[in-house]
Amino acid sequence: MLTRDTLGSEEWTAIRNTPHLVMLAVSGAGGSALDSMLERHAGLKGIVEAMHSTHPLVRDIADSVHIMGAQDEIRSWYYTLEEVHRTPTNLQEKALESMRHALDALDAHGSPDDLLHYAEFVLSTANRVAGAAREGDLFGIGGELISGGERSFIERIETAVQSRRRILSRP
């Protein structure tokens, strides 16, 4: 199984930061400020719970030092953007770019099993965030559990993972 020690600094950063970027990108896809707060809480809880993972790389992501490092780095990136560029679309593109870099690192150093564990972790985080609050509701009545924007972004992540699985499964 792939561990953090076999990765370069940039590769580890992409793997570590991607779940956090995905959490923010899904959360930013729609809803109120309260929805975003609930969704980010659910996402961070999912990342912390990864400390119980059977995969060492996923477990390392949940280490408090690495959680703080990812949050600090993402915050630094985000606040260097001009105000007009702090958009959900830019956040989604950054998350997808980071996911591609993480998958590249897994391709270069890991096995299909490593890719499977990591992809499941990132996708479960995304789905957990999306399902944490109902968008478009009024005091909990109505709305939809997963908004169209959230669903669309999660599908883009799934597509990136599926295309990578097809490449790995070729003889």
Please give the pLDDT value at position 143. 60
Using 50, 70 and 90 to split pLDDT, how confident is the model at 117?
very high
Span 78-85, mean pLDDT?
Answer: 94
Please report which confidence band the pLDDT of residue 22 belongs to, taking 50, 70 and 90 as the band edges. Answer: very high
Q: Where are the domains of the chain?
A: 9-169
- What one-character DSSP code corresponds to residue 147? -
Write out the two tokens for 116: 């499977």
The mean-pLDDT minimum among 3-12, 20-29, 32-41, 117-126 falls in 32-41
How many alpha carbons lie under 13 Å from residue 159 in its C-beta half-sphere?
A: 7
**Distant-in-sequence, close-in-space partners of 132: CB < 8 Å, separation ≥ 6:** 35, 38, 39, 41, 42, 43
Q: What are phi and psi of 138, to 5 degrees?
A: -125, 105
Query: How confident is the model at residue 132, as a pLDDT?
Result: 85
Q: Does the model's pTM come out above 0.85? A: yes
Q: How far apart are the first and last CA of the chain?
A: 21
Sign of CA dihedral 114, 120, 125, 130: positive
